[in-house]
Amino acid sequence: MKATQNNARISRRTFFKRAGYATVGAAIGSVYPVFIEPRRVEINHIHLTFPSLPRAFDGLTIAHLTDLHRSRAVSAEYLAHCVELINTQKPDLIALTGDYITFSNHFGPPGRLLIGSRKTVANFAHDIARILAQARATFGVYATLGNHDVWFDPTLISNCLQQAGIHVLRDESVTTTVNGAPLAIVGLRDMWTEGVHLTYALAGVNASFNLVLMHNPSLFDRWTLPGNHLILAGHTHGGQVNLPFIGPPILPSNSLRKYAQGLFQRGDSYMYVSRGVGVIYPPIRFNCRPEIAIFHLHSA
């Protein structure tokens, strides 16, 4: 009888011990993707060699920042830290590829709570302008818009960025001089919300190397322009959750699964899809850290 009671006592002790471990594990499992990984920004250095890159661009560095998604889940302090990280790299150019705020009618009530009122989102847009005004690059900062920016107010977002000294490009290009050579920078509209007019955007662009900014990487399927191009995109967030052996279970669309994140090549052109630095609802990241990409260009 005593042995039975002792076994029961050991069993209860084991149960509570295991329950405690499970509770701690669950707490850690919920804390890490919500409060830790979404702020663990990593800087990725990518070296690219182009066969026809002008010598003037050899060694050029371009910082890519995308999908900031200022909201109640993505603080101004965190985004200011991301800009500080970029400035420590002393880039020649900074490229921004959209979704500076979070605004969508596709989220349920919890997602709308994350966004707030239109007045709140407008204040977030002004936060972004103040933060990005601190970005420093030798040859300037260039931007295009994302789907969340268009859903909210593309004119307001564009004006905020321009007031911060940023060149906003929407199906248009601008040419800047880098080490005595012309560099064409093309910014494309968001293909999901506005559609892209490539012919119009690329009018007059015939240099041997171009920098192209776009939000949605799906456009790469339609990319036929010959020559050397570096195309920078975002939009996917890498899925925010990247499960081992499975990959991201949720992406904005199935067509984006092949362009979830990383480097892709078509002819002599490269496209890089960044995981971005912000989050949308649900505001978590797992095995998919926020990212700032720094590109180092090399001539063959």
Q: What is the pLDDT of residue 136?
A: 98
pLDDT tens per residue, range 150-185? 999 999 999 999 999 999 999 999 999 999 999 999
pLDDT tens per residue, range 60-88? 999 999 999 999 999 999 999 999 999 99
pLDDT tens per residue, range 202-233? 888 877 789 999 999 999 988 878 888 999 99
* CA distances to 109, 113, 159, 209, 286 from 282, in Å: 12, 11, 29, 39, 12
Which residues pair with residue 167 across a beta bridge? 142
More confident residue, 85 or 15: 85
Q: Which of 169, 196, 198 is nearest to 185 (CA)?
A: 169
Q: What is the pLDDT of residue 29?
A: 55
- Pinpoint the alpha helices (H) of 41-166: 76-88, 109-115, 118-132, 147-152, 154-163
Q: What are phi and psi of 267, to 5 degrees?
A: 65, -130
User: Is the Cβ–Cβ distance between 97 and 66 less than 8 Å?
Assistant: yes
Q: What is the pLDDT of residue 11?
A: 56
pLDDT tens per residue, range 92-138? 999 999 999 999 988 878 788 889 999 999 999 999 999 999 999 99
Quick one: fold of 43-299? Purple Acid Phosphatase; chain A, domain 2 (3.60.21)
Q: What is the pLDDT of residue 272?
A: 98
User: Is the Cβ–Cβ distance between 208 and 189 less than 8 Å?
Assistant: no
Q: What is the pLDDT of residue 130?
A: 98
User: Is the Cβ–Cβ distance between 178 and 92 less than 8 Å?
Assistant: yes
Q: Which of 174, 249, 257 is nearest to 213 (CA)?
A: 174
Extents of the domains making up the chain: 1-39, 43-299
More confident residue, 1 or 261: 261
